[in-house]
Structure 1
Amino acid sequence: MRHRALLTILLGASLLSAPAWAQSLRIALASEPTAVDPHYHDLTPNNALAAHIFDSLVRQDEMQKLHPGLAKSWENDGKNRWTFKLREGVTFSNGKPFTAEDVIFTFCRTLKNETKVSDSFADITGNFASVEAPDAHTLVINTSNPEPLMPNLLSALGILSASTVEHGAISYDVPKNCGVTGPWPTVNGFNDGSLAIGTGPYKLKSYVRGSAIELERNASYWGPAEPWATVRLLPVTNAGPRLAGLLAGDYDVIENPAARDLGRIKDDKRFGHVITPSTRVMYFQLDVARDQSPFVKSEDGKNPLKDARVRKAMSLAIDRDAIVKRIMDGAAEPAYQFLPTGMFGTLPNPPKLAYDPAAAKKLMAEAGYAKGFQLTLSATNDRYINDSQITQAVAQYLTQIGIKTEVDAMTRAIYFPRRAKKEFSVALGGWGSGTGEAASFLRQWPPTPNDAKTLGGSNYGGYKNDEFDKVIRAAVTTLDDAKRAELLQEAAKLVLADGAFIPLHFESGIWAFKSNLTVTGRADQYMLAMSVKPVAN
């Protein structure tokens, strides 16, 4: 306790001696979070906001390496049992102590969340056969199937306080409502602040959609105090105004300035910037299941996307190098698989996805579509870097091989719920690996959904490959790393060969900021106030 008291005094002294500006931080966001609720939608802006307010059992650093969070340690018995030792002396922002009961309540809430988008986070807890708390700071999870990535998966799950609901004895008994006797939390309660009770370094002061999110330092935070007394997160979805605001002094940090604009600040001593490669793959997901797809029109009345030759032709029509160079201004890498080469479970030498419009036209003719067909590409216009411009470029490439292509770009608040309802024929996606290995994409998007909802939660295109399903189901339950890597590589080959998912490129995260700050870029592209520090005098 004496050492902790001394640390608190030293931190307080350093804050008092810091310049006045160091107490407030203004960040311009490229994409606005859609909710404060940490379980509403498994979306990078949402997860980044949640990380300020809600801790997880395990945390990931900027390179996605695992570190203790609310759990001090964890171990697996080599089979289906995981034991987590929880941190003691932690309190929520409302003063209630953190215990294993809160974790069990959180797990239950992911399965009782009526206001979530898609099955966000239920894919983690759907594999839990039982969760027990031998004491207030020990948690034992038994899974139905072995889960080699349990700590990685739990690093994305914000822990709630059971004190936010009426309840009796909390237990992981989902059919009996886990002991909750009142209403389960809904998204509106988090957005208005009444349920935004966490153990993180910040507390929610206000959340106004389209305007600003205001955070204030959590004085009861169990970790080192942050240098910022207040943080304002401001949604500025257009890159031009973000940069203009930084240059004018309206913002301290901005996300994703256009790479072509970096020249305006590179030689200006008032500013700095950092470019960090990410694990986010941009891709198109195709409706390969329905005989009539809503945004496809062909002379024969069929859905051409069901034909593998058409899908391959579409991939061959896309010049990935040109998109990276001209639209992404070099701040990206062409993608030939779903995670950057060299990461766990990836193909060591994936075949390059070539640009060959002549071969694409030949395949179209072989498939019976020499005259082409009509197609609409659906995309966001405010979520990913240059998302609508990328989609427009792909539409032009497809039109050149006879597919008369239009683009319907919309705000992500409209797009994601519609995509979850399977309303699109070809949908733009962007997936950052939350686990740092190939299983992240391969377990979420291509599998046939299982009853537990642990696989295929985002299979909106109806893709089905029995051989792939067999391989990926084996991969995600294999604890031996070498065997799991081999299975993941085999699974990736099967998906790439079928062409139901067309990878485009891997984004890089870019941050620009005032020179009196340092910013640590993150591979997961999270914009965290915790990554921003004042430069020491």
Structure 2
Amino acid sequence: MKAWLLALCTAALASGTVQSQTLRWASQGDVQTLDPVSQNESFTNAMNGQVYDYLVARDKKLNIVPSLATEWKQDGPLKWTFKLRRDVKFHDGRPFTADDVVFSVNRAKEPTSQIANYAGALGDPKKIDDYTVEFNLQKFNPIFLEHLNSVFIMSKSWSEEHKVTKPQDFTNKEETYAARNANGTGPYMLVSRQPDVKTVYKRNPNYWGKIEGNVQEVVYTPIASAATRVAALISGELDFILDPPSTDLERLRATPGVKVIDGMENRVIFIGLDQARDELLYSNVKGKNPFKDVRVRRAMYQAIDIDSIRTKLMNGKAVPTGAVVPSPLGSFNDPEIEKRLPYDLKAARKLMADAGYADGFEVTLDCPNNRYINDERICIALANMWAQIKMKVKVNAMPKSTYFPKQEKLDTSLYMLGWGGSVTDAETTFTPVYRNRAPGGIGFYNRGNYKDDELDALCAASTEEVDPAKRKALIKKAFLRHNDQVHHIPLHRQFIPWAARGGVEVVHRADNWLEIQWVKMQSPK
């Protein structure tokens, strides 16, 4: 780490008051934006979730519980009615009402929102009175409450006042007031924001709910260097790190005053391929696209020694899978769906030869270097493995702040992506990731831009099927179709160990979400 960067991180850490009720924590990357629907990235969502509330929230086991809505009922398959919590104030003192709910849901449907497909599935919100909102759906939504748990509630009047009635266009580097300022109803209030340096929050003294923990101030510092993060934790400059490197876990377990909190994450890591262009953007193959050929995609899949990645890179803290879905619950723990293609170099070389690429080809693999566990190292390992089938793969690794806008423009030929969060149902993978790209956020994360009408129809049908048994059958068919066509190359589901000082108590949620209102810190002796 360069000396100037180390000095910057040290200064940022030192600026927080060292006391038992100040939580000083870090991870490798920063919040992408404070606009709560501009980016659908888990870490960004979790940080914004300290300031903004949903109508329905998640408890410690990821169950849906009341939040800004106190109760709800479903009147048939196409209508939901919600009663809102009274006497709630936004951080600047504005009252929370049904107008804010209707505004926030409609704002989340805008093209620059990355949860447009989730918000669109909520139907049309309608104000009945100041504390009652009705949702009328055009079609049945089997996971309505899960989708509702993706829309943060903003103040309508605050958004109008600051000209942020539409989400920030993050992809095209738009700067808006909401990108660096926040006004929610949540347990913590934004104090200051210095992108890539430090973000500070303070406890909301007028929070409507009960805060279990005792954290009064939060100082978050992004620190790219894993070694620096670990050193800061061991020295006591930090109280918590979200992403300790797997290679340091045993050392941390043996360090007095430090503890490791283990847990598996609802997140699958996979590789996507441009299957749309007639010629790849970043390859030496001219006049055709090798990734359009399923034999090439299968060859790449079968050239991956996934067990070596699991044992050597992840230190056993990963579960290989053949299903591109965050949790095995999404695939019903079905062995047929979860089964990987076998690692078989002989078969892979034959597939490459049959496809006309016995001598391989050159291509660039885009990869983040501060988003997933060992992301860049995995990409380098994959490049070495694909060299065994004579592919020359250049790894183009970059920070997530650069990586995600590049992907959103489909400016890629081959890429790594992780997909996860609190929802285990297949729907929130199928619609944004598996389906053909279409308006309303459908297929938005289909960055390979493949078009598979059979798969698209199966996914669409499963979204609307009311009968649980019929829906399960449709979901299985969709998974098997996707796996057969190798539209993505699955790798593994990652474990997320956290590390903290001994006196810090946290709740490890499977969506890798640090809920600060649950954090308890012991006073120094």
Q: TM-score, normalised by structure 1?
A: 0.89
- Of 133, 139, 153, which aligns to 2:127? 133
Cα offsets for 1:295-326 (capped at 9, x unmatched) = 1222x631110000000000000011111111
Query: Equivalents in 2 of 1:262, 1:255: separation in Å?
Result: 12
Displacement of 1:184: 4.6
Alignment of 1:488 with 2:486, yes or no, is no
- Unaligned runs of at least 5 residues, structure 1: 1-18, 168-179
- Unaligned runs of at least 5 residues, structure 2: 1-16, 169-174
Query: Equivalents in 2 of 1:67, 1:129: separation in Å?
Result: 21
Query: Equivalents in 2 of 1:273, 1:523: separation in Å?
Result: 15
Displacement of 1:20: 8.2
Paired residues for 1:248-397 under 5 Å: 248-298=235-285, 301-339=287-325, 342-346=328-332, 348-349=334-335, 350-397=338-385
Query: Equivalents in 2 of 1:120, 1:233: separation in Å?
Result: 24
Corresponding residue for residue 393 of structure 2: 405
Residues 352 and 458 of structure 1: CA distance in aligned 2, closer, same or farther (over 3 Å)? closer
Amino acid aligned to 1:37: D
Corresponding residue for residue 104 of structure 2: 106
Cα offsets for 1:427-470 (capped at 9, x unmatched) = 110110442212221211121123333x2121221111111111
Displacement of 1:247: 0.6
Check whether the contact 1:71–1:84 (CA below 8 A) recurs between aligned residues: yes
Alignment of 1:198 with 2:188, yes or no, is no
Check whether the contact 1:100–1:136 (CA below 8 A) recurs between aligned residues: yes
Check whether the contact 1:27–1:253 (CA below 8 A) recurs between aligned residues: yes
Check whether the contact 1:446–1:464 (CA below 8 A) recurs between aligned residues: no
Amino acid aligned to 1:139: V
Check whether the contact 1:214–1:230 (CA below 8 A) recurs between aligned residues: yes
Residues 333 and 185 of structure 1: CA distance in aligned 2, closer, same or farther (over 3 Å)? closer
Query: Equivalents in 2 of 1:426, 1:30: separation in Å?
Result: 23
Alignment of 1:243 with 2:230, yes or no, is yes
Query: Equivalents in 1 of 2:455, 2:470: separation in Å?
Result: 16
Cα offsets for 1:86-140 (capped at 9, x unmatched) = 1112111111111111011111222347xx4xx4011122245422111111111
Alignment of 1:164 with 2:164, yes or no, is no
Question: SS at 2:509's partner residue?
Answer: coil
- Of 407, 426, 429, which aligns to 1:419? 407
Check whether the contact 1:468–1:495 (CA below 8 A) recurs between aligned residues: yes
The alignment yields a C-alpha RMSD, in angstroms, of 2.1
Question: SS at 2:434's partner residue?
Answer: coil
Corresponding residue for residue 97 of structure 1: 95
Paired residues for 1:48-197 under 5 Å: 48-112=46-110, 116=112, 119-166=113-160, 184=166, 186=168, 188-193=176-181, 196-197=182-183
Question: SS at 2:446's partner residue?
Answer: coil
Query: Equivalents in 2 of 1:182, 1:217: separation in Å?
Result: 25
Check whether the contact 1:38–1:50 (CA below 8 A) recurs between aligned residues: yes
Displacement of 1:73: 2.0
Query: Equivalents in 2 of 1:508, 1:230: separation in Å?
Result: 28
Residues 533 and 482 of structure 1: CA distance in aligned 2, closer, same or farther (over 3 Å)? farther
Residues 192 and 340 of structure 1: CA distance in aligned 2, closer, same or farther (over 3 Å)? closer
Paired residues for 1:451-490 under 5 Å: 451-453=439-441, 455-490=442-477
Query: Equivalents in 2 of 1:390, 1:335: separation in Å?
Result: 15
Check whether the contact 1:127–1:452 (CA below 8 A) recurs between aligned residues: no
Which shifted more, 319-328 or 74-83?
Answer: 74-83
Residues 289 and 71 of structure 1: CA distance in aligned 2, closer, same or farther (over 3 Å)? same
Question: SS at 2:517's partner residue?
Answer: helix
Check whether the contact 2:360–2:391 (CA below 8 A) recurs between aligned residues: yes
Cα offsets for 1:399-423 (capped at 9, x unmatched) = 1111111111111111111111111
Which shifted more, 442-451 or 98-107?
Answer: 442-451
Query: Equivalents in 2 of 1:89, 1:486: separation in Å?
Result: 46
Corresponding residue for residue 431 of structure 1: 419
Question: SS at 1:379's partner residue?
Answer: strand
Query: Equivalents in 1 of 2:421, 2:485: separation in Å?
Result: 21
Amino acid aligned to 2:131: H
Check whether the contact 1:85–1:137 (CA below 8 A) recurs between aligned residues: yes
Aligned residues, how many? 499
Check whether the contact 2:35–2:167 (CA below 8 A) recurs between aligned residues: no
Cα offsets for 1:501-536 (capped at 9, x unmatched) = 011111111111111111211111123323422259
Corresponding residue for residue 194 of structure 2: 208
Corresponding residue for residue 204 of structure 2: 218
Query: Equivalents in 2 of 1:520, 1:352: separation in Å?
Result: 33
Check whether the contact 1:81–1:142 (CA below 8 A) recurs between aligned residues: yes
Query: Equivalents in 1 of 2:139, 2:158: separation in Å?
Result: 31
Alignment of 1:31 with 2:29, yes or no, is yes
Residues 128 and 525 of structure 1: CA distance in aligned 2, closer, same or farther (over 3 Å)? closer
Residues 184 and 440 of structure 1: CA distance in aligned 2, closer, same or farther (over 3 Å)? closer
Check whether the contact 1:434–1:440 (CA below 8 A) recurs between aligned residues: no
Alignment of 1:44 with 2:42, yes or no, is yes
Query: Equivalents in 2 of 1:369, 1:138: separation in Å?
Result: 62
Query: Equivalents in 2 of 1:304, 1:201: separation in Å?
Result: 51
Check whether the contact 1:283–1:430 (CA below 8 A) recurs between aligned residues: yes
Query: Equivalents in 1 of 2:234, 2:66: separation in Å?
Result: 38
Displacement of 1:483: 2.6
